[in-house]
Amino acid sequence: MRPLNFVLIFIICVLLVLFSLQNTELATIQVIEGVEFEAPLAIELIAATGVGAVLAWLFSLLSQLQRMLTARQNIRQIRQQKQRIEELEKDMQQIHQQGQRIQELEGDVEKIHTEENTNNSKTVVSKTNSPDIEAKPVVESEDLTEDSTEDSTDEDPEKTTDTDKEKVNTEA
């Protein structure tokens, strides 16, 4: 683009020199009523062209300044958006980790429930009427294994249920 600009400016300058050599007669320019300038026509035209070039340059500077300001604003917005994206990615990682932890806990809960269901085949809820302890529900579980039924038949049935109740109360 620069070589094209150079060639264009060079051609315009050569044309102005040729024009000024052919137009050397005096011309009068009236700026305001009462203010007049008298100079060769070529000089007046070159001055007018120069003023136009300076004005065009000022307007191009103004438009470049506006583009720079909007570019800076865009860069600032892009930085802010990148920072926000990083924050959101960190949040997503934390949420993902929390979700994995919740799934692990749900799996643990399921394991506990299945263990409880396999260990306790039957659950009975009763209340104790002890003067030292308030009336609380007591959970008794009976295993269907042969060993537990044989042991309970050897001992006194009332003593067995009392010791079972005490065990459950202490565990609770």
pLDDT digits (tens, 9 = 90+) for 124-138: 444 455 555 554 555
pLDDT computed for residue 88 by the predictor = 96
pLDDT computed for residue 40 by the predictor = 87
* Whether the predicted pLDDT of 34 surpasses 90: no
Long-range CB pairs of 30-34 (<8 Å, 24+ gap) are none
Mean pLDDT of the chain: 77
Distance CA 7, CA 14 (A): 11
**Which range among 45-49, 137-141, 150-154 has the greatest average pLDDT?**
45-49
pLDDT computed for residue 161 by the predictor = 54
Amino acid making up residue 165: K
The dihedrals phi and psi of 52, each to the nearest 5 degrees, come to -65, -40
pTM, 2 dp: 0.42
Confidence of residue 41 (pLDDT cuts 50, 70, 90): confident
- Residue predicted with more confidence, 69 or 144: 69
Confidence of residue 55 (pLDDT cuts 50, 70, 90): very high
Buried b (16+ CB within 10 A) or exposed e, 17-46: eeebeeeeeeeeeeeeeeeeeeeebbebeb
Averaged pLDDT for residues 71-86: 96
pLDDT computed for residue 77 by the predictor = 96
